[in-house]
């Protein structure tokens, strides 16, 4: 298990429960009674982005996109965003940063400001879903599909725009048994979906869609693509754009097979390794 996932498990044990919280820590977003879906992301200068590689508007757009992608992975429709901002002395481009956060057409409904040593953005997205799709509903035999080519972020040095797959997530929600957004690479995130579903999985690396300019390894292990990975029953009628990359299996082994059919040991990015 990744160090980050172990920390999340520890935190979940301290979190307490409430009958009005239908889904808590451990999925892409929390689900409250009534179908309100909530997700928080924190992006820190020097960890998630560099100010010499991205404009303030691009930084704001990236954080909001990553956050909206968590709603997409639940099949939720966004309602609004909240922005908590830590601003270093001398940083003058707050308007551009905020403009970037608001650039996805989702209203910014509130926030908070503080001084900080480095630029920090924490965005919370609220949405609604009639039938939120969790990570945990996958079954052996379900097909694994992704919403687009992988590795674009790693290939771009994490500067390519992130597009939250909201429409695709809503469409997949009508058929998917489980869904997750690919924030840490399919090698990591498929393990999370499979473990939550109590399944194994098998993916042929030669069948992964590789983004232009990316290597096959970047497609398998690169972070921050924010395409969606869904498990769908084999009898489902898939949308044209859905790309089948593998299937869920019995057991608990998650295998990435190379062109000779041999399993390869692949790991995505671990923030706390």
Q: Where do contacts with a copy of itself occur on this chain (CB under 8 A)?
A: 4, 7-8, 10-11, 14-18, 20-21, 23-25, 27, 29-30, 32, 34, 36, 38-44, 46-48, 79-80, 82-86, 94-95, 98-99, 102, 105-118, 120, 122, 124, 126, 271-272
In the bound state with a copy of itself, the residue whose beta carbon lies nearer, of 59 and 144, is: 59
User: What distance in Å separates the CA atoms of residue 240 and residue 147, rounded to the nearest whole number?
Assistant: 10
Which two three-digit tokens encode residue 201? 């999985």
In the bound state with a copy of itself, the residue whose beta carbon lies nearer, of 118 and 159, is: 118
Q: How far is the CB of 206 from a copy of itself (least distance, A)?
A: 33
In the bound state with a copy of itself, the residue whose beta carbon lies nearer, of 179 and 205, is: 179
- The CA-atom distances, in angstroms, between 230 and each of 154, 186, 233, 270 are 21, 11, 10, 22
> Shortest CA distance to 155 belongs to which of 117, 116, 185, 121?
185
- The CA-atom distances, in angstroms, between 164 and each of 9, 21, 68, 240, 261 are 26, 25, 6, 18, 33
Q: How far is the CB of 160 from a copy of itself (least distance, A)?
A: 20
Q: How far is the CB of 162 from a copy of itself (least distance, A)?
A: 15
In the bound state with a copy of itself, the residue whose beta carbon lies nearer, of 96 and 204, is: 96
In the bound state with a copy of itself, the residue whose beta carbon lies nearer, of 118 and 206, is: 118
Q: How far is the CB of 39 from a copy of itself (least distance, A)?
A: 6
Q: How far is the CB of 89 from a copy of itself (least distance, A)?
A: 10
Do 183 and 69 touch, CB atoms closer than 8 A?
yes
Taking the CB of residue 129, how many other CB atoms lie within 10 A of it? 19
User: What distance in Å separates the CA atoms of residue 255 and residue 37, rounded to the nearest whole number?
Assistant: 32
């Amino acid at each position: 298990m990744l160090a980050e996932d172990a920390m999340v498990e520890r935190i979940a044990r301290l979190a307490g429960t409430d009958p009005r919280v239908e889904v808590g820590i451990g999925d892409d977003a929390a689900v409250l009674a009534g179908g309100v879906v909530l997700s928080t992301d924190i992006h820190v200068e020097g960890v998630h982005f560099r100010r010499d590689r991205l404009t303030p508007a691009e930084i704001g757009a990236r954080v909001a996109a990553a956050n909206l992608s968590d709603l997409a992975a639940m099949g939720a429709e966004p309602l609004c965003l909240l922005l908590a901002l830590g601003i270093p002395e001398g940083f003058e481009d707050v308007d551009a940063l905020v403009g970037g956060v608001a650039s996805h057409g989702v209203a910014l409904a509130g926030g908070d400001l503080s001084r900080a040593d480095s630029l920090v953005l924490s965005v919370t997205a609220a949405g609604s879903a009639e039938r939120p799709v969790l990570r945990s509903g996958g079954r052996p035999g379900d097909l694994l599909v992704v919403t687009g080519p992988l590795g674009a972020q790693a290939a771009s040095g994490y500067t390519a725009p992130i597009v939250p797959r909201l429409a695709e997530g809503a469409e997949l929600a009508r058929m998917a048994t489980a869904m997750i957004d690919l924030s840490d690479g399919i090698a990591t995130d498929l393990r999370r979906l499979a473990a939550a579903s109590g399944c194994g999985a098998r993916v042929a690396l030669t069948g992964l869609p590789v983004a232009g300019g990316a290597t096959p390894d970047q497609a398998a292990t690169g972070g921050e693509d924010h395409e969606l990975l869904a498990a769908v029953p084999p009898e489902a009628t898939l949308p044209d754009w859905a790309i089948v990359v593998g299937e869920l299996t019995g057991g608990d082994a998650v295998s990435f097979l190379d062109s000779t059919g041999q399993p390869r040991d692949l790991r995505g990015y671990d923030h706390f390794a």
